[in-house]
């Protein structure tokens, strides 16, 4: 059995700041879960458990009393189902919610519904060894609560967009040729909301969008469904070999690298289960480098909020090929790590706030800006090849 010390060790990895502690309220009908989550939260120097409740009815009153920053919520509870409570909560008092339940297994209907209703994150309780499993996951649970606290709650849940009663018949979109414009987006911590903010404002006529978001395997399909419900684009989890279509967005599966391929019929999706790059699979660098190789100046690269430096070198490769490269600015980034690294390398042709990015992406491809005359790559930037990086094919731009 994991020792009590394992939970205490979690606190030593957290960074103490001068900002107020994150106030967390836990709603779960299991006294054991409430106790374990309480100990994990109280062990963090930047968090406090303000209250816990055995059901949503009790929790509703405690929310009014304590005004928590983050709510952890079970699903199967007496008096009211957790998803029903989440639906009501997000309509009346939106706030960051992390679902922690045995029902929120990867790609389950409960997980998809939780995301649709506005949950910031979902964590699956271990099916066996509940106490040991939660103790071992203490660091991950604490970090995901922190991430939820940094986000801003949506005022409206992401429900399927209304459609007109009679729609004109739409012909299938043609495959995009290897000289056409496309968009590649990379993100990590805080990226789910940033990506939603961008895709929800792109028109159905937008060029293909390829997305690498750091996310565990099993959750990307649900995230894609959530994005699809709030976008005029058709958003789905990418499948190996499928052609890229205008008005479509493709999300990298949680355990595969996403790369841009090219055939005599146009751009294609390439998925790869190779080694992690920058400790990630999918890696933003892998996606960006493949776009630099295959699309060159016909690509627009966007690097959003996230920790670390994944995507910075790939964005430099894009800029070297004449692509427009956009880094999210510090003011609108939840974590200004990846964009800062790209800016430091000289990889970004533009630095924009999140609200300005969708309009920039809908500008004419002719507005894309190559490197300015006289620009030279910083000496510190070394162009490398990742394992399996595609070389330029006969159909790719010269």
Domain ranges of the chain: 4-150, 182-367
For the question of residue 196 being annotated catalytic, the response is: no
Q: What is the pLDDT of residue 282?
A: 95
Does the domain at residues 4-150 carry the CATH identifier 3.40.50.2300? yes
Give the CA distances from residue 283 to residues 76, 155, 164, 176, 252, in Å, rounded to whole numbers and listed in that order: 36, 31, 38, 24, 9
Catalytic site residue from 310, 320, 329, 332:
310
Q: What is the pLDDT of residue 18?
A: 59
Residue that the structure tokens 């699903």 belong to: 75
Buried b (16+ CB within 10 A) or exposed e, 321-340: bbbbbbbbbeebbbbbbbbb
| Crossing angle of helices 31-42 and 138-150, rounded to 10° | 70
Residue that the structure tokens 């990086």 belong to: 389
Task: Return the H-helix or E-strand segment holding 341.
Answer: helix 338-344
For the question of residue 181 being annotated catalytic, the response is: no
Q: Please, are residues 280 and 310 in contact by the beta-carbon 8 Å criterion?
A: yes
CATH code for the part of the protein at 182-367: 3.40.50.180
Catalytic site residue from 196, 214, 257, 280:
214
Across the chain, which has 398 residues, the per-10-residue mean pLDDT values are 43 52 94 93 94 94 94 90 90 88 74 78 79 83 86 43 37 55 92 90 94 87 86 94 94 95 87 92 96 93 93 96 95 89 95 95 58 44 40 46
For the question of residue 188 being annotated catalytic, the response is: yes
93: left (phi over 0), alpha (psi -120 to 50) or beta: beta
DSSP conformational letter for 126: P
Buried b (16+ CB within 10 A) or exposed e, 216-225: eebbbbbbbb
Residue that the structure tokens 């997305």 belong to: 211
Tokens of 262: 């090219």
Catalytic site residue from 101, 175, 188, 290:
188
Q: Facing residues of 213 across strands? A: 187
How far apart CA 285 and CA 118 sit, in angstroms, is 29
Q: What is the pLDDT of residue 361?
A: 94
Cis peptide before 309 (omega within 30 of 0): no
Q: What is the pLDDT of residue 176?
A: 53
Q: What is the pLDDT of residue 158?
A: 39
Task: Please tell me if the domain spanning 4-150 has the same topology as the one spanning 182-367.
Answer: yes
User: What DSSP assignment string belongs to 188-242?
Assistant: -TTHHHHHHHHHTTS-TTPPPEEEEE---TTSHHHHHHHHHHT-SSEEEE--TTP
Q: Please, are residues 161 and 30 in contact by the beta-carbon 8 Å criterion?
A: no
């Amino acid at each position: 059995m994991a020792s009590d010390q394992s939970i205490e060790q979690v606190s030593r990895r957290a960074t103490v700041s001068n900002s107020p502690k994150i106030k967390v309220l836990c709603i779960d009908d299991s006294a054991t879960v409430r106790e374990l989550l309480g100990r994990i939260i109280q062990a963090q120097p930047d968090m406090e458990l303000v209250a816990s409740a055995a059901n949503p009815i009790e929790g509703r009153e405690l929310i009014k009393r304590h005004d928590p920053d983050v709510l952890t919520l079970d699903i199967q509870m007496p008096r009211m189902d957790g998803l029903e409570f989440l639906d009501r909560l997000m309509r009346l008092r939106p706030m960051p919610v992390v679902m922690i339940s045995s029902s929120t297994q990867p790609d389950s209907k409960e997980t998809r519904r939780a995301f649709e209703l506005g949950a910031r994150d979902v964590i699956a309780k271990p099916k066996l060894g509940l106490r040991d499993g939660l103790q071992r996951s203490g660091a991950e649970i604490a970090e995901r609560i922190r991430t939820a606290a940094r986000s801003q709650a949506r005022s409206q849940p992401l429900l399927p967009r209304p459609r007109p009663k009679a729609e004109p018949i739409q012909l299938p979109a043609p495959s995009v040729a290897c000289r056409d414009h496309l968009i590649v987006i990379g993100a990590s911590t805080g990226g789910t909301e940033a990506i939603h903010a961008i895709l929800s404002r792109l028109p159905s006529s937008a060029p293909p969008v390829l997305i690498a978001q750091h996310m565990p395997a099993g959750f990307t399909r649900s995230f894609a469904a959530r994005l699809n419900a709030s976008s005029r684009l058709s958003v789905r989890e990418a499948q190996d070999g499928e052609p890229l279509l205008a008005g479509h967005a493709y999300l990298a599966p949680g355990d595969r690298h996403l790369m841009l391929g090219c055939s005599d019929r146009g751009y294609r999706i390439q998925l790869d289960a190779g080694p992690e790059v920058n400790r990630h699979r999918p890696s933003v660098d892998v996606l960006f480098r493949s776009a630099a190789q295959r699309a060159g100046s016909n690509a627009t690269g966007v690097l959003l909020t996230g920790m670390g430096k994944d995507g910075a070198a790939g964005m430099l490769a894009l800029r070297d090929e004449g692509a427009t490269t956009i880094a999210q600015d510090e003011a609108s980034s939840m974590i200004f790590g990846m964009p800062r690294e790209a800016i430091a390398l000289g990889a970004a042709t533009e630095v924009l706030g999140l609200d300005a990015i969708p309009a920039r992406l809908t500008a004419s491809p002719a507005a894309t800006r190559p490197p300015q005359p006289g620009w030279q790559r910083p000496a510190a930037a070394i162009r490398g090849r990742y394992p399996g990086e595609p070389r330029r094919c006969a159909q790719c731009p010269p």
